[in-house]
Every structure is written in structure tokens, then in C-alpha cells.
Structure 1
Amino acid sequence: MKKRFLLASVALCAGFAAQAAEPTFDMQRFSGDIRTLSSDAFEGRAPASAGEVKTVDFLIQRMKEAGLEPGGPQGANGVRSWTQDVPLLKSDITGAPSLSLTVNGKAKALSQGKEIAVRAALTGDTAVSLKDVPLVFVGYGVKAPERDWDDFKGVDLRGKIMVVLVNDPDFEGPAGRFGGKAMTYYGRWTYKFEEAARQGAIGTLIVHETDAASYGWATVASSNTNTMFDIVRDKPRSAHSPLEGWIQRDVAVELFKASGLDFEKLRVAARSADFQPVALKATLDAAYQVKPETIISKNVLGRIAGTLHADETVIYSAHWDHLGVGAPDARGDRIFNGAVDNASGTAALLELARAYKAAPAPTRSVLFLAVTAEEKGLLGSSYYAANPVWPLARTVGVLNMDSVISPGPAKDFTISGQAKLDLLDLLIAEGAKRQRTYTPDPKVEAGGFFRSDHFPFAKQGVPAISYGAGDDLIEGGKAAGKAWGDAYVKAKYHQQADEWSPDWNLEGTRQDLGLLYAVGRNLADSRIWPNWSQEAEFRAIRDASAAERQ
């Protein structure tokens, strides 16, 4: 960051603080909104479900009550809508999949959700029928010419299934061509499925390892064995293979052993650019029916028009969706309520909107954007970024909120993943005024930067971050914060147990809302145009649109 800009940012933040009083947040109302959105009546808020209809209606009603105006596309009559249509391919496996591995002539049935988790095909196919398909281990499944890295070495994967590791080659080793422990986009499962399609593979199996993935098998199973969604594509096979799934680590170890291979040694070998693909002495059979259909989901948009620069927009965003209804857990519960993830961020969006309406109107416009299908691959935010209602060149910045509940007030705060941009400088400067410090994402290996709804905006050059509550708690310090986060990921994240609680300590969230309000309001009342650092991969895209901000 340029020192001159940071000093200007601090001065502007201080000027704003003198002009506007700290907003009041009603945390009982905030908690009540979470309780409603995560109730069983909303059926886990899956896109294309009765739960979506209830969620969208609820959000529109709350935005109307807050005094917002519709922020969606204009109709033929010139009137703006509260929603933006998001066309999606919806795909379900019908019935129980038949899945088995054959090694050295011996077949072993695999149980869906227990040993393997295959997703409903997103190719538009109505069935997946694979017989004796060879498996090839291709390390991390990465082809990165700019890093002089190619895990495929010219191997023909057509008609084959590639077996790959989670994350990218620097995850466990010293910093190399992928910059160290922080995950690059090459480490994301979305990339691996995309690359399999480019390689012509008929399928992909990702070997699940908890540390490398940053979540356990329960999360994999619940996230991948229910309804799948994708954006509508002209050529879906350009982005997806018919079979996409994950296998348990123990299954992989036994598979490699039966093929006369040592899984651990090959994991180590895969960290080297010299790694060569290895054919396994095994084949996979898979048979299941798929029901694909095109549906229209909804992004919900409420807006406050700026008094002087209404064509310039500050965006607060949060995803309203969760996983819907799935297989029962040990308690017999089938509803993935998604209270923390992300009824909390959605409720925060509403509470911030109320705070803005209670204050004088900002000089720039502020958009409160609740997006769909984040859980299926950031689809709602990706659609908006590709089809913006309000021009991205004149979008000042994006403050995204995902899972904002914390265990209590903290001395610090964070953002998802690593990023260098002026928007973070503003956040740090405002946090310092509140005696809160910025702590870089402690789990950069989890690829958080690529897993939240700010990322599609970043790819289009818009300065964007996803805010994270701090872990250094005023009561209990870092140990207490880490314990709370670890327990949530293990027992609740993407599981039925993510439910509303009357026992939450919401004082930390109140402080987070105050910080987010101040930074957004600073932008909305200023002439600042934040940018990325000079070395950031998104800088060139932002700079290319500079003329539109004159």
C-alpha cells in the first residue's frame, strides 16, 4: 500500500467519525431474524425450494420495513424489482447410486456418503453409467504454465478418472512455486473439477484429508450428496465431467496399496514439479440416474440512493442460501438450518440497512445484496458480477459478510484469505480507532479468499473483502477463540446442528457491525476509489476501467 493513501484514509476516517454518531444496532432483533431464517419452516433455505420462496419474501418484507428502495433490474415499465433472476442448472441424483471399485479382479462396493461422495452430474446428462473406467493418480491435478508446473505430463485422460489430492503442492512443504502454505486457486476443488473437464477426463475423485481441506468428512458428505447447482452454460462439459466426487482417505490408502503403491510416498512425490502421473491397477463402476432441470433462483437487492453521486455504489453482501434438506443425522434431523452460515450474515445485512436508513442519506448509493447459491459455488454472486445491475466500474467496493456470529468481543478482526488492497487499509485504520487490530487469516491454507461471495467481484477487479470476526477474545484470548471456531467447524459447519441459540454472546457481533458500518459509510460519503496493491492480480482489471470513474 502507498503510505500517502493510508494516511489519507486515516484522516478521512477520522473526519467521518466527527460528523456521524455511532449507529445503534438492535441485537435482539438481529437474533430474531437469524432465528426466523434458520427455523425448520425455512427448510434449510435451498435454492429452488419452498424455503427459497419464504426467504426471498422475508428479505423483501424486511427491506421494505427498513425503508429501502428496490435495487434490482428495471422492468419494461421502468420500475425496479426487488430481485434479480439467476438462471441455474439444478441437478439431483434419483435413487441410490451403485458405486464400486475393482482392484486385481476383486470388486468392492462403496457406500455413498460414507466412503465416497459423488455429486449429481452438472453436464445436463440424465444418467451416469460407467463400467471398468481406469483410475489415474495425477497428484494435485494442477496445470499452471506461469509457474512451470504440469501434473499431467501429456497423459491422455479421455475415458479415465483422475484421482487428485486436496489443496496445492506447497500445502505441506516449504514455500515453492505456489508461494507457501496459503492456498492458491489451484488448490480449490472447483479448479480441480474444471481442469478435469479441460483434460477430457470422464471423472474426478478428490482424496479427502481433513487438514488439507480444512473440514471433516461430514462436511464433504453433506455438501456433495444433495441437490447440485451450476450457472446455465452453453457447453456444460467444458466445465464439468460426468462424475465428480470425493473419496475417504482410508479408501484411497487401501486402493493404492492394492495397486502395489505407497500412498504416503506418492503424496510426497506430488509436491515436486517432476512428478509423473501413475496409473492405478483399479477401475470404477458407477451407475445412477440424474434429474437435471433449469430453474430461476433470486438475488435480493435493496438500495439507498446517494444524494450527490447516485451512480456510484458501495455494496454490502451476504448469501441467504444454505444446504436445504438432506439425509438424517444421528438425531434424525434432516434440515440444514444454517444459522451461523449464513442466516447470521443475512441478518447483519438487514441490521446495517436499518442503521443507514436511521442516519442522513449518504452521498454515494449503498446496495444491500443478498445472493443465492453460495453453497453451490458462489453462483449468485458470480451471476451478479457477470450481469451487474449497477456498473462494476463505478462500484466503490464490496464488504461481504459470511458467518458473522462470534463467541464474544475480540481485540482483533480478520478477512478471509490473503489480499492487499486499500479497502483493507481503511478497515485497519477504522479498527485502530476502536482499539482493534487486524490479524491475517490464520488458516490461509484453507483458501478462504476463494470461498466467499467477494471473490467473483475481485475477479472483475472490484475491491472486495469478506469480513471475519476476531479470535483474540477479550475474555479467554486466542485460545478461547480458536476453541470456539474449531468446535463449530467440527460439529456444526455444513451440518444439521448449525442452529440458532439463545445463548450467543452478541456483543462481539455488535462491535463488528459498528466497524463494518463505519468503513462502508466512510466510502459512501467520500470521493475515495480504493484499488488493489500494485502486485495484486486484480489490479490490471480495475485500472482498465479507470476512465469510467472520472
Structure 2
Amino acid sequence: MKRSLHLLLLSLGLTPAFAADIPGGGISADNLSRHVRVLASAEFEGRAPATPGEEKTVAYVVDELKKAGVQPGGEQGGWTQAVPLVRAQVEGPVTATLKIGGASQALSNGDDLVLQSLNPVDRVGIVDAPLVFVGYGITAPERGWDDYKGADLKGKVAVVLVNDPDFEADSPGAFDGSAVTYYGRWTYKYEELARQGAAGVLIVHETAPAAYGWATVRASGLSPVFDIPRDDAATYHTLLRGWMQRELAVSLFERAGLDFEVEKRRAQTSAFAPVALGDATLSASFAVKRDQVVTRNVIGRLAGAEQPDETVIYSAHWDAFGIGEPDASGDVVRHGAVDNATGVAAVIELARVFAAGPRPQRTLLFMALTAEEKGLQGATYYAANPLAPLEKTAAVLNIEMLSPDGPNRDIASWGNGRVSLEGDLKRVAEAHGRTYSPDPNLEAGFFYRADHFAFARAGVPAITVGAGLDRVDGGEASGKALRDAYFARCYHQPCDAWTLSWEAGGQAQDVALLYALGRDIADGRAWPRWLNGSEFKTVRERSETERK
């Protein structure tokens, strides 16, 4: 009888041990699908922070955590942690004009470029600012790299490439080959060019090195932008920031007497120095509506039985991109089903099964974090204002973008984290008849694009877990095709929605592995650690005595 049950479960793509080992009847695919269906419904308006969609989202997650049986883990005995943010939205028309060689070209915001500002002004006005190409815009003394060479960028708009110099280079160089470093992220480009004193930044969009198409840039770029309140916002942010289409960049370089591809190859060498784009100038004008808002992290807590002062965190971001422009079907809601209602559903389901079983030795926190899509703001705020000591937070298991396409043989993590949790995930997966796949797309820089990164910067061992690509039905080729289609068509778009074809069986398998991994850490005495070569190892070691 046991063998028949074993074979039946295997035929369904389930690991036999899970049925017996997970309390509360195990991880429910029906529950996961139901949570996604609700959170990604039009009623929730795309779950943008500081909108009516947030109110509905927070209320739903709190209600479900209550039903799950965990306790409030937020501020002052409540379920939430307030996250104050500055919100900036372009208001009204945007005018932008490129002048070069005596000719003027009117640029369309959203089509030729997208423009924003987080500088503390109510109007951006730039008149005939010279355009300067700064390569990849990187200053990295530890890698022997300086793209600026002392150039004076005051009053100028920098044109910069996305990703790292190694991305399209013939062989690996100073930037880890095709695996993007933090220097390749658009957030770094903006921060560094503010430090360099530039008036503005335009990142050249190319689909492969950015890892998403222009539709994603447009959707994000035309949405409000958020930041933590800063006394130094005027110097921390350039007056103007945004992206430009590759076609516009190629044309601009050509009119300046330069070849875009030649200049890109030059930028892949440490000898690169900034170059003026002929006599090209940019003028731009638009109003900015700025206000301060308060958004919220939602936190449930299950107190540890033996070491309640030690913590393991399960997290996922609840926010998506709200209401946007209509797609071909007329849908204006960017539902955020895969990204990341699947993660929130997993956190709620994990809270339910843990609360139904024996109390873990360490405390568990179940977090639905805000404003990840706005620069990891909710996670960053929590890391700066923790509700449990970070030095005694054993691990953060962040969950992103589980698959709606059925079971996979493997499970994956994002980026090359150089953290023992990657080995732990591999061990747990293999113990349950599955495999672990390191991130197959390191050049996309996902390590720096998920909430675990905010915890990592604070020294806490952290990992983001997502779906693998080796589908039970179709193998890796099928999984890669589905992934590529999603990023091409639906990432941050209205078609990232729950449908009747949603198949949550694979999600249930992945969440079961996350249960096993979290249970091992919560019931153990070991402390996950950063490995040699990790930039976060030294930060963690500073608090080593707190974990003795």
C-alpha cells in the first residue's frame, strides 16, 4: 500500500515525504491559486503603493495571516510597519528637444525616451545641456576601473550604457564575465552620476543587457517613482534621469560623427574616457508633483519555542505597478500575478502550515514587503529599522515569481549570492527527489533586483528563490520558452494576470521545499553564512559575537 501511494505521488509530480512531513494537510495548490487570483484581480488595481489598491492588499494579507494562525509582527503590536516614502510623479506634458548639427528634433516621452526626477523640485527645466557619453558610468577602484577620468559633468547630461563592460566583451574581464555586478544596475548608474555632479542621466536601453524590453521601461518610467526621505536629495539625485531608445542613441552618435558600436567596444576597456557627443544638447521641461506618503510592510510572527530572539524570515513583495496605459485588449491594470502575487501567496501558505504544526525553535517572521518595484524600498526600510535584531536574524528566504505552468524538476535561486543558503537549498531539493539550478541568467542581474539584496547589504544571509526551468512536461527547452515569452510580453504588463489555465501544482512543490529549508534553519543551531568572495561577509562578521 505504501509503495502504491509512493508511486501515485511521484506520478503527480509530488514528493512523497511532503504529505507526511508538512502540517495542516501540506501545501495546498488550491490555496496558492486562490490567493493569486484575488491579489491579481482588477479589484486590487495593480497593488501600487499609496493607492486604494494598497488598502485592499494590506487588508487581505492581514486577514489571511490571522486565519493562518500567526500573531502580529509589526509595530506596536500590530500587523504592519509604516514605511514613509517620497513620491514623485511627472505632471502634465513633457517637452524634450535634441539639438545637434544645427538641427532640432522633438522627442516623445514614452516613445523616444522616458524622463523622471527624484530631485526635490516642482519643475525640471534643462536648457541646451551638452550630452556626454560616459561609457558604463562606473567608478570601481578595487577593479582598476574609472570611466570618468576626472571629467567635469556639471551642467551636462550623461549618456550611459546599461549592464557591465563584460556583458558583450569577447572574454571575461574586470566585471565577472556575463554575470552582472551591482555596477551594471541602473540604480547604480543614477547614484554614481549624481556623485559625479551631472545634471542628468540617460541610460541607453538595449533589450539583452537590460534583460527586458522597452515596454517594461515605458511602463516603469511613466509610473510614479519613490524614495526614502533624504536631507541630501538635491545632491543624491540628478535633476533629470531616464532612459533612451537604442535607435535614438545610434542616430545621435552617427550625427555626432561617432559609431555607437565602436564607442561601446571602447567603453569595454579600462582606458575609456568620456567623449562629447559632438555639439549635441538636450532641453527638457516638465512639472513634478511631489508628496510624502506612508506605505506598509505586513508582518506576521510565530514565536520560537527555544530561541525566540533568533529569527528566520520568509518574505515576498506585495506591490505591482497599478494602473497604466491600456494594452491591446484595453486592460489598464498591471495585475502582477506571477510578479509577485505568487510570492505573497507562498508566504501566507507557509504561515498557515507552520502555525498548524510544532512550534519552531527560532522565531519565524512572514513578511509581505512594500515598494520592491520602486527600488526595494520596503525591504531597505525594514533593514534600517528592524523589528527583530538583524545580527540574530539567521536567514531571509525571499520568494519571487513562481511558475503558473506546472511542476519543474528543479528549483532555482537568483544570482550568484556566494551564500551557504544556496548549498542548503540544493541539499533540501535533492533530499526530496529534485534538483537545484543556479541562476541560468546571471547577466540579468537578478541578485540586485529582489528584496533579499536589501538584507544582504545589511549582512544578513539572504536568498531569493524562484521557479526552475526544467519542466516535467517539456524539459528545459519548454521552460526557457515560457520564461522568455513572459519577459517579452507580460513582465510589468497587464497580461501578467491569473487565468483559468493557471496550474499551481509546481508552485506547491516549490513552497514545500521552502518549508523544508526554513524548518531546517529554524530548528537548527547553525547560522547560515556568506562564503569567501562575498561582498557581505565582512559586514556579517562584525556582529559575530552576538551569535555565540
In which range does the TM-score fall when normalised by the shorter chain? over 0.9
Partner residue in 1 for 2:242: 245
Structure 2 counterpart SS, 1:349: helix
Partner residue in 2 for 1:131: 127
1:232 paired with 2:229, answer: yes
* Alpha-carbon distance between aligned partners in 1 of 2:20 and 2:348, rounded to the nearest angstrom: 25
With 211-220 and 533-542 compared, the bigger mean Cα shift is at: 533-542
Q: Structure 1 residue 469: deviation in Å? A: 1.0
Counterparts in 2 of 1:38-437, with a 5 A limit? 38-74=40-76, 80-119=77-116, 121-173=117-169, 174-280=171-277, 281-437=279-435
Given that 1:454 and 1:466 are in contact with CA atoms closer than 8 Å, whether structure 2 keeps it comes out as yes
Given that 1:27 and 1:506 are in contact with CA atoms closer than 8 Å, whether structure 2 keeps it comes out as yes
Q: Structure 1 residue 520: deviation in Å? A: 0.2
Partner residue in 2 for 1:12: none
Letter in 2 for 1:200: G
Structure 1 counterpart SS, 2:465: strand
Given that 1:44 and 1:51 are in contact with CA atoms closer than 8 Å, whether structure 2 keeps it comes out as yes
Counterparts in 2 of 1:444-463, with a 5 A limit? 444-463=442-461
Q: Structure 1 residue 102: deviation in Å? A: 0.8
Q: Structure 1 residue 29: deviation in Å? A: 2.1
* Alpha-carbon distance between aligned partners in 2 of 1:489 and 1:348, rounded to the nearest angstrom: 22
Given that 1:406 and 1:469 are in contact with CA atoms closer than 8 Å, whether structure 2 keeps it comes out as no
Structure 1, residues 260-293: CA drift from partner, whole Å, max 9, x if none?
1111100111000001211012111101000001
Q: Structure 1 residue 28: deviation in Å? A: 1.6
Given that 2:313 and 2:365 are in contact with CA atoms closer than 8 Å, whether structure 1 keeps it comes out as yes
Structure 1, residues 470-528: CA drift from partner, whole Å, max 9, x if none?
10111111100001100100110011111111212221111101100000011111111
* Alpha-carbon distance between aligned partners in 2 of 1:503 and 1:515, rounded to the nearest angstrom: 24
* Alpha-carbon distance between aligned partners in 1 of 2:18 and 2:305, rounded to the nearest angstrom: 17
* Alpha-carbon distance between aligned partners in 2 of 1:472 and 1:218, rounded to the nearest angstrom: 28
- Unpaired runs of at least 5, structure 1: 1-14, 75-79
* Alpha-carbon distance between aligned partners in 1 of 2:195 and 2:484, rounded to the nearest angstrom: 36
Q: Structure 1 residue 237: deviation in Å? A: 2.7
* Alpha-carbon distance between aligned partners in 2 of 1:270 and 1:215, rounded to the nearest angstrom: 22
* Alpha-carbon distance between aligned partners in 2 of 1:59 and 1:473, rounded to the nearest angstrom: 30
Q: Structure 1 residue 216: deviation in Å? A: 0.4
- Segments of 4+ in structure 1 off by > 4 A? 15-23
With 19-28 and 268-277 compared, the bigger mean Cα shift is at: 19-28
- Sort the Cα spacing of 1:23 and 1:186 in 2 relative to 1 into closer, same or farther, 3 A: farther
- Sort the Cα spacing of 1:27 and 1:274 in 2 relative to 1 into closer, same or farther, 3 A: same
Structure 2 counterpart SS, 1:381: helix
- Unpaired runs of at least 5, structure 2: 1-16
Q: Structure 1 residue 26: deviation in Å? A: 2.0
Given that 2:18 and 2:512 are in contact with CA atoms closer than 8 Å, whether structure 1 keeps it comes out as no
Letter in 1 for 2:547: R
Given that 1:89 and 1:229 are in contact with CA atoms closer than 8 Å, whether structure 2 keeps it comes out as yes
> Structure 2-normalised TM-score?
0.95
* Alpha-carbon distance between aligned partners in 1 of 2:114 and 2:381, rounded to the nearest angstrom: 27
Match of 1:524 among 522, 525, 545: 522
Given that 1:16 and 1:522 are in contact with CA atoms closer than 8 Å, whether structure 2 keeps it comes out as no
Q: How many residues align?
A: 530
Structure 1, residues 404-457: CA drift from partner, whole Å, max 9, x if none?
124221121111111222211211111111221221111101101000000011
Cα RMSD, aligned residues only? 1.5
Structure 2 counterpart SS, 1:354: helix
Structure 1 counterpart SS, 2:129: strand
* Alpha-carbon distance between aligned partners in 2 of 1:247 and 1:211, rounded to the nearest angstrom: 15
* Alpha-carbon distance between aligned partners in 2 of 1:29 and 1:18, rounded to the nearest angstrom: 19
Structure 2 counterpart SS, 1:432: helix
Structure 2 counterpart SS, 1:535: coil
